[in-house]
Amino acid sequence: MKAELLRELRTSTDYVSGQSLCEKFGVSRTAVWKVIGQLRAEGYDIEAVTNRGYRLCSYPDIISGCELMSRINTEWAGRKVYFRKETGSTNDDAKYLAEEGMDHGSLVVAEKQTEGKGRRGRVWESPAGDNIYMSLLLRPDFSPDKASMLTLLMALAVADTISQLHPELKVGIKWPNDVLINDHKVCGILTEMNAEPDCIHDVVIGVGINVNQTEFPEEIRKTATSLRLEKGDHIDRAALILGIMEMFEYYYGMFVEHQDVSAFVSVYDGYLVNRGKEVRVLDPKGEYTGIAEGINDSGALIVNLPDGSAKAVSSGEVSVRGIYGYI
């Protein structure tokens, strides 16, 4: 009830009477007062006036389940939030909850991760209180070979949301799953699938975004950044999460309709920092270089080779680097 009551206060332009809240939620005035007290304890400034009711005056910068669910405007993405103050990995949490029957579109969010993961087993630094660590559960009804494209959808959703909320920032995507600000990494995405050869049981898309972090370990200082460092102001993390859920739901709908990324290839390519640049493809079968052209309808990166031929590079164990560095 707490999230629903908070939504009522948010959406009202005037005081909300205690009696109307009691009738709406089928509870006593004592129950309403108890929830109001819980919200105040979490930092919500709620004014109470006799014979008028309650009014939300201000709210804290938090990313609790109650805060997110009271502000979400999607049909299914992020409608149910599982919040963790601290956890090992939100991806692991989402996978466990998937086994317990968690719904399609459910979101796990944490303030801190102690065992955050990146691609190929890398550790994702996850300090508390400043950033976004979240994992979205999907239960797709399409073949397993299409699941890798979901990473591109999420990268596009993150890039679009940052661009819309903070248009002064230069946002880019390094194929397939890194979102950049001014050519420095601000977001990583890890997609994990539980499937049989012809059937997907569930897909978990983990997203880590450097939002308000101001210090980075020495080993990544030259390639990583945060939104706050680039913009110079504190960033509303909840607004970012909500925007990403809306954009992902939008792109997912088109993806399901077309069964590929053809509907937004041009949008993705517009963010692609590799495009038109010489890249080195780190393939376990052998490295090679070429000029990145953009992605195809399956999300593969098209690389024009020196002999005039072109090769479609699929994500997975393959990495793409710039000739002289990260991009």
* Structure token pair of residue 136: 């979205």
| Structural domain total, the chain | 3
- CATH code, domain carrying 26: 1.10.10.10
With beta carbons less than 8 A apart as the criterion, state whether 292 and 320 touch. yes
- Closest to 189 measured CA to CA, from 176, 172, 173, 206: 206
Q: What is the pLDDT along the chain (327 residues), one digit of tens a residue?
A: 899 999 999 999 899 999 999 999 999 999 999 999 999 999 999 999 998 999 999 999 889 999 999 999 999 999 999 999 999 999 999 999 999 999 999 999 999 988 765 544 555 556 677 999 999 999 999 999 999 999 999 999 999 999 999 999 999 999 988 999 999 999 999 999 999 988 999 999 999 999 999 888 887 888 899 999 999 999 999 999 999 999 999 999 999 999 999 999 999 999 999 899 999 888 888 888 999 999 999 999 999 999 999 999 987 656 777 755 666
Domain-embedded: residue 143: yes
The CATH number of whichever domain residue 87 belongs to comes to 3.30.930.10
Same domain, 174 and 254: yes
Residue 193's closest CA among 98, 129, 269?
Answer: 98
Q: Does the residue 304 lie in any domain?
A: yes
Final residue before a domain boundary, out of 255, 271, 287:
271
Within-domain flag for 327: no
Q: What is the pTM of this model?
A: 0.91
Do 248 and 302 lie in one domain? The reply is no
233 in the same domain as 171: yes
Counted residue by residue, the chain has a size of 327
d(CA 181, CA 139): 31
By residue range, what is the domain housing residue 310?
278-322
